[in-house]
Structure 1
Amino acid sequence: MPARLPEWLTPPEDGYTAEDLDRISDLPAHTELIDGSLVFASSRPAFHMVVIDELKSALRSQAPEDFVVMREMTVTLARRQRPEPDLSVITRATFQGLDHGDLLVAGVVLVVEVVSRESEIRDRERKPRLYAAAGIPDYWLVENEAGEPVVHAHELGPDGTYRPAAVHRGRLKTSRPFPLDIDLAGLTRV
């Protein structure tokens, strides 16, 4: 007798909603909701995982007390949009108000995506549009260039879309969302 497939493999006619992610008990870890469709994470390369860990530590060590750095936590952007950025920086007030499994977009000031082969189209194209439409002020896209992390920083423009702000190679020095000075080359020397 063949194994029974989970019911959630067949989506509802109008797609899934952000609330559905909390109701479906047997979803794989790190499941995202993009445009009403469930998106499952594949295994990530070592570069991706190391950069997330090290960048999270660097951000946490330099963040003022009124900010918190979160790793791989979904953000409800709209009814059918609940992506999971690799890193998010949120206000402490938002953190203290958390009582569920995802972040509310109002307190998110920065989202970071580290590109891997499996996620490159979402990270470079779809997610930035969703984050911008939700009003998140800053978006960083981290690329692997010859084994070194390169951060493409984007700021939300008055037209509600992201505009390139800077490309950081070797060192990330910025005042957004708070003053930062991070040795990018050192992130992958573990």
Structure 2
Amino acid sequence: MSAVFPQKHLTDIAEWHRMGEAGIFPPDSRLELIAGEILTMAPIGFNHAGHLRRLNTLLTFLTVNHAIVSIQSPIQLGDLSEPEPDLALLSPNADFYSNRHPKAEDVLLLVEISDSTLRFDREQKRRLYATHMIPEYWIVNLIDDCLEVYRQPQEGDYLDKSVLTKSDSLNLLTLPEIKITVADIL
């Protein structure tokens, strides 16, 4: 007799949405679907929340009429992933994505603010976003007080990685006329 091992049950976005509609998860659950797995998101601390509010205010001001700033909302990446990045900068859309979740081709920039999730954001999220050709991915690294910038997605990873400090600045890849001083983020 051959050995039988427990198997993971992976779910897709359609099943994920049906579970949500059926009320399987408590309303205050912080969950996201990554590569078919339902993951519990880390609680948001005050430092994380403050940096998110700062970044939201900055990017909303700088990208008015050029992009939509989306905070901790779903992004559909293929059939198996629907992460909720801390911040997404999206292409303009007349109905503000009221009829569907944004998809990879709608994303200009994804940002994760990381302290306890730094390793996950650097590894799994980075590969997920690169696989789906997200053009630019930032990690606001609260542990090392820096901004990690990933660009040029190719074959499941980013070819270009920069680590910026408060004395640096950068232009958005998809909106190059917009210059950001890293000190305004950190």
Q: TM-score range by the shorter chain?
A: 0.7 to 0.9
Give the equivalent residue in structure 2 for 1:31.
Answer: 31
Task: Give the whole-Å Cα distance in 2 for the aligned partners of 1:95 and 1:140.
Answer: 26
> What are the residue-to-residue correspondences of 1:84-163 with 2, within 5 Å?
84-93=84-93, 96-100=96-100, 102-117=101-116, 119-145=117-143, 148=145, 150-157=146-153, 159=155, 161-163=157-159
**In 1, Cα distance between the equivalents of 2:47 and 2:160?**
24
Pair 1:33–1:165, CA change in 2 (3 A): same
Give CA deviations for 1:71-124 in whole Å, capped at 9, x if unaligned: 001111121111111111110137644314x3222211110011121x222201
Distance 1:90 1:29 in 2: 25
Q: Which moved more, 1:62-71 or 1:179-188?
A: 179-188
Shift, 1:50, TM fit: 0.8
Query: Which is worse superposed, 39-48 or 174-183?
Result: 174-183
Quote the RMSD (CA, aligned, Å).
2.4
Q: Per the alignment, do residues 164 and 95 of structure 1 end up closer, same or farther by CA in structure 2, a change over 3 Å counting?
A: farther
Query: C-alpha displacement at 1:135, in angstroms?
Result: 1.1
In structure 2, how many angstroms separate the alpha carbons of the residues matched to 1:175 and 1:111?
A: 11
Alignment of 1:47-58 (within 5 A): 47-58=47-58
Matching residue's letter, 1:155 = R
What does residue 45 of structure 2 align with? 45
Verify the 8 A CA contact 2:66 2:92 in the aligned structure 1.
Answer: yes
| Contact persistence 1:85–1:111 (CA under 8 A) | yes
From 160, 166, 171, the equivalent of 1:164 is: 160
The 3-state SS of whatever aligns with 2:43 is coil
TM-score (norm 2): 0.80
Percentage identity across paired residues of the two chains: 21
The residue matched to 1:132 in structure 2 has which SS?
helix
3-state DSSP of counterpart to 1:19: helix
**Unmatched runs of 5 consecutive residues or more in structure 1:** 1-11
Residue correspondences, number = 173
Deviation at 1:41, TM superposition (A): 1.8
- Which residue number corresponds to residue 3 of structure 2? none
Contact map agreement 2:54 2:185 (CA 8 A) in 1: yes
